[in-house]
Structure 1
């Protein structure tokens, strides 16, 4: 716990490197994370997915299809297609994210080239499926966690969101499904279905890396006994509670609304306690992607 508290109190964003006053320690950590993430991504694609004649989603998936069809190196096609997309969609990325994304595109293409011959041949295709999804999800998760993107269909998804008002995640899923469908021209139906399994595993691993080992939940509570519930959460769950003023539309009655952030593993206990103290309370549980600030421990 002491080590964790020390790391939490160290502000890497403001600590400058001795060799350069413009580069912070956090920037160096981000660059190292991008290198590791790009390398793991390349391992997942070459060592497991291509070795098992499986596909991928997004631009890398198109690069794999071109490799199967025309024997074009995925490193070259991945770089060229992502470069075009970066030119088209650069205005949809922040300046910081743009710089990191350019580095990610260069590194992933470089590592895809360096690891072209790193292939594990096995008769158990599930090994390629599981570990391919694991390494790809781990690599992408590390890249996204520090605020960068993997370019590719992420930029297309943002364009669709801007001009067609479609959720980014749904747009990403659509493009991945399109790429997988195109993969039927060079892969069997079995290989395509195994690719879908690998993508699902990669998504879950990516979520785990981004959210952490203990994701958070936000709870909104509307109760006739807000003080009683607030004291209960403070004393038994040991979490701070925010009270917001609200008013019912139909009754026009004023209500105090409780808002609290908890760890996911505390949710069952909180639900039981709320039901015990006020079984008529209206409770809404929200997913939380990240929690910033020093008020949550």
Structure 2
């Protein structure tokens, strides 16, 4: 829940992309397949056998699978299918193709792994490792242009909505649906299982971000400000960072490279501090982390 993991320029899902060499496409499809298998391992060998529910369509599918005593893989594809059909004409075909491949492998892998026993039976360990496998798998698919959980990807939904107000509305709907899924898990399996489910969900979210950053703890950030020299001086003094040559400038791309911007690579734990520095110098500056939406 696309752009590549280190893109600094927001690229909408519906934007046109250039034709890619066959080798790049093959690598992309192999990584999507690997990510889908990793996600199914986390789901079927760790989370599902221990009655741990995560958010999104994956969590809804798991709840239906428990309630109807059917295999999870069937619901994973069926509940994501309406989004694919709805968005096919509104997004680039590459996104639709990669997503269908990912969901197909995800569902088939879950079906094949279902008869196997759980790797771990302790809910805490299962929540940690299951959330990790699931998040890394989803993140790997996302970073290669697809998705495995259509409710978990806020920026895909917001791109389809086409407006900031619609984006906020969609994010609230997604948050409420995730809350309902986790609440339903608590009602069905008890408060203790619900706490483990929340832990698995949070770990999965962080693992998604980690995978989409290219499996690194570094983040790339673009700062567009009318006070670049003051910002550069403050960041140098408090974070000991110097601005770098941005990918847009390296490739001679126009657009944001023509704006008064600063480009940095920082550690993920420095994110909050960097935002505080930017706000203190220029409250109206625009900050873009990796492929996040611009924020002031």
Note if contact 1:47-1:120 (Cα within 8 Å) is conserved in structure 2. Answer: yes
Alpha carbons of 1:229 and 1:28: their partners in 2 closer, same or farther (altered >3 Å)? same
| Higher relative contact order, structure no. (Cα contacts within 8 Å, ≥ 6 residues apart) | 2
Alpha carbons of 1:91 and 1:176: their partners in 2 closer, same or farther (altered >3 Å)? farther
- Larger radius of gyration, structure 1 or 2? 1
Cα drift, residue 86 of structure 1? 2.1
- What residue is the counterpart of 2:254 in the other structure? none
Q: Aligned partners of 2:147, 2:124: CA distance in 1, in Å?
A: 28
Note if contact 2:141-2:148 (Cα within 8 Å) is conserved in structure 1. Answer: yes
Q: How does 1:192-207 map to 2 (within 5 A)?
A: 192-207=194-209
Note if contact 2:42-2:134 (Cα within 8 Å) is conserved in structure 1. Answer: yes
Note if contact 2:57-2:152 (Cα within 8 Å) is conserved in structure 1. Answer: no
Q: Aligned partners of 2:173, 2:55: CA distance in 1, in Å?
A: 13
Q: Aligned partners of 1:31, 1:119: CA distance in 2, in Å?
A: 29
Partner of 1:216, secondary structure, is strand
Note if contact 2:32-2:141 (Cα within 8 Å) is conserved in structure 1. Answer: yes
Query: What TM-score do you get using the length of structure 2 for normalisation?
Result: 0.69
Note if contact 1:46-1:112 (Cα within 8 Å) is conserved in structure 2. Answer: yes
Note if contact 1:40-1:138 (Cα within 8 Å) is conserved in structure 2. Answer: yes
Note if contact 1:63-1:77 (Cα within 8 Å) is conserved in structure 2. Answer: yes
Residues 65-106 of structure 1 deviation map (CA, whole Å, 9 limit, x = unaligned): 122222111111222222233223333432110111111121
Partner of 1:219, secondary structure, is strand
Q: Aligned partners of 1:182, 1:15: CA distance in 2, in Å?
A: 44
Note if contact 1:56-1:195 (Cα within 8 Å) is conserved in structure 2. Answer: yes
Note if contact 2:243-2:262 (Cα within 8 Å) is conserved in structure 1. Answer: no
Residues 185-236 of structure 1 deviation map (CA, whole Å, 9 limit, x = unaligned): 432122122111111111111111112312112334555967x959x89xx8
- What residue is the counterpart of 2:52 in the other structure? 54
Gaps of 5+ in 2: 1-17, 247-258
Structure 1 counterpart of 2:221, from 180, 200, 217: 217
Alpha carbons of 1:79 and 1:261: their partners in 2 closer, same or farther (altered >3 Å)? same
Gaps of 5+ in 1: 1-12, 17-23, 242-256, 292-297
Partner of 1:239, secondary structure, is coil
User: Which protein is richer in strand relative to its size?
Assistant: 1
Query: What TM-score do you get using the length of structure 1 for normalisation?
Result: 0.69
Q: Aligned partners of 1:262, 1:224: CA distance in 2, in Å?
A: 12
Aligned CA RMSD, in angstroms, stands at: 3.8
Note if contact 1:49-1:132 (Cα within 8 Å) is conserved in structure 2. Answer: yes
Structure 2 counterpart of 1:81, from 76, 79, 92: 79
